[in-house]
Chains A and B, each alone.
Chain A
Amino acid sequence: MTTDSPLVERRRSPRPDTWLPDFCSLPIVFALLVVAELVVLVILLAPHRDGGLAWQRVFVASVYVQWLAICCAFCLCRLRPAIARQPVARGVAGAYASVVAIVAMGSGLVYWIDHATGLELTVPAGNALRFVGGSTLIAALVAAAAFRYFYVQAQWQRGVQAHARAQVAALQARIRPHFLFNSMNTIASLIRTRPQDAERAVEDLGELFRATLRGGEGSSSLAAEIELVQRYLAIERLRFGERLGVEWRLESLPQDLAVPPLLLQPLVENAVLHGIQPLSAGGTILIEGKVEAGSVRISVRNPRPLHPPPLARGNRSAIENIRQRLFYHYGKAGRLELEQGAGYYAATLTIPGA
């Protein structure tokens, strides 16, 4: 099934989800300091001419490396927005180059201060190149490994996000074909015998597609969503005739409450698909809505066969999609509860903010 990838692409670009972690955040800075300290220990633990692990050496080296690490974190924190705007390759090169440059300058500065003050904590005088070069090279190697890790991590995350978007897109594409072609067939039949009904069906179908082509984006009102369901049911009633009964019990709902679009219609479509269609005698879908404890609760209840055929996968993905979008918009206050028993199935939406 193909999806509208240009739309999906456009939605992705404004968010600065870069491969580079946020070095302004404490957990990331802490992780960086831990890694820096590990590097110090690894270097000092390596078999060495001078023998044992002197605590003074550990202390001095730690202060030096942590200071460099903090300088790098500060710089990457500041550069992050700029890096995010670059193409990935240039961003990586820029960030990497700045880390290496900071370490080179920092180590040079430390060497100079060390010898200017006569503390001699680093290396004996005259070894500037070894000290600065060594520090820079170590930083370059560690940074290369770290950046590679960030990049792989980001790729993985992008994969997860793309999967989530694909689910949304797949849902939008899933119900379309069957419903579209069946509706066309119905209209083709009506044109001969009941042209006025055919006209109305085309209008309803148009409205419905306008709404679904917009997808789950933007905002709608409760009244508009209910009207959409009515248009959908009008078309299905042409197809199923007497088999499809609908009972509405709506108690003074806030008509202009803003809601995410296409939360209710897929539930009603499920009720028709899994409730009415498999029953040769059909049945009645009960749609109830009321305000309870500051939330709008709308339930869709349908009869279904006692021995339902193995459930099509599409159903679950529609439910999951609605749940994800409810969570996205309302956190835990938005809910979709399902209830099934012998011969019936009910889905209840809870939308806060009434």
Chain B
Amino acid sequence: MRLLIADDEPLARERLRALVGEIDGVEVIGEAADGREALTLSATLLPDCVLLDIAMPVMDGLEAARHLTGFDPPPAVIFCTAYDEHALAAFEASAVDYVVKPVRRERLSVALERARRFTGEQYRAVGEHLGALPQRTHICARLRGNLKLVPVADVAYFLAEDKYVAVRHAGGEVLVEESLKALEDEFGERFVRIHRNCLVATDRLSGLRRTPDGRMFADVRDAPEPLEVSRRNLPALRRLVKSL
């Protein structure tokens, strides 16, 4: 079994590597220092199993696992944590296992044995647990096998187009297969609906303007052109722009 280790502490990774080295049939193929790196390495190395620390910079382990559920096929995930807080109880009965620090070798080998028998089907149940967790920090786009992670803080707007949502950010645009409604539910406090098909980051809104033919447009930083505002969303948007 090919294993990826993700932990932000070098000594913790070193120890996991040493422990795994004593377990037959498992090979460490990479080490990541945060959740984001774990995702990009998973996309290229395609591990069978990822050992994820929960508390990591940039992107924590829970969010990384949530993005991993979208991989095809998804790797098995074993969480590794110093202290059982809240989320982990939910996994006790589910497919993913977790180990606590200081990690015991026997416990780790049990978890790895479970991971070996892991099926993608079990992961969907886990995905549902993870879906109920707090907001993601990154949007994960996986189109044509390429993985692209966009920090939500960099997103200027979400624009729904056919079956995709275009995510415009400071460095360009990516497409994701999510619904605008779900995105609005998740990031509602940072984004505002300006049109049936568009959510804009409130901190990127710089003003409203009316064209000679009576249509309203919003100026949005990092957007290539102004975005149309629907009549229905205009009053709320006006109040918001005034209060900015």
Contact = CB atoms under 8 A, between A and B. Distances in A.
A181 B83 contact: yes
A184 B101 contact: yes
Given A182-B82, A185-B102, A277 B11 contact: no
A280 B12 CA distance: 15
A277 B8 contact: yes
Interface stretch (A233-241, A249-257, A262-270, A285-293): A233-241
Interface in B1-36: 8-12, 14-15, 18, 33-34
B9 A182 contact: yes
Given A307-B151, A309-B137, A278 B82 contact: no
Interface string A167-192: 00000000001100110111111101
A193 interface: yes
Interface residues of A, number: 27
B188 to A, nearest CB: 14
A307 B237 CA distance: 24
A181 B12 contact: no
A77 interface: no
Q: What is the interface of chain A mostly: helix, strand, loop, or mixed?
A: helix
B153 interface: yes
B88 interface: no
B82 A177 contact: yes
A279 interface: yes
A310 interface: yes
A186 B53 CA distance: 14
Contacts of B11: 185-186, 189-190, 238-239, 241
Contact of A189 (B12, B33, B82, B151): B12
A151 B10 CA distance: 58
A89 interface: no
A306 interface: yes
B10 A241 contact: yes
A184 B103 CA distance: 10
A193 B137 CA distance: 36
A189 B14 contact: yes
Given A181-B82, A185-B12, A192-B18, A280 B57 contact: yes
Contacts of B143: none
A277 to B, nearest CB: 6
B110 interface: no
A152 B69 CA distance: 55
B100 interface: yes
A174 B10 CA distance: 25
A239 B9 contact: yes
Contact of B14 (A184, A193, A277, A279): A193
B87 to A, nearest CB: 14
A314 to B, nearest CB: 11
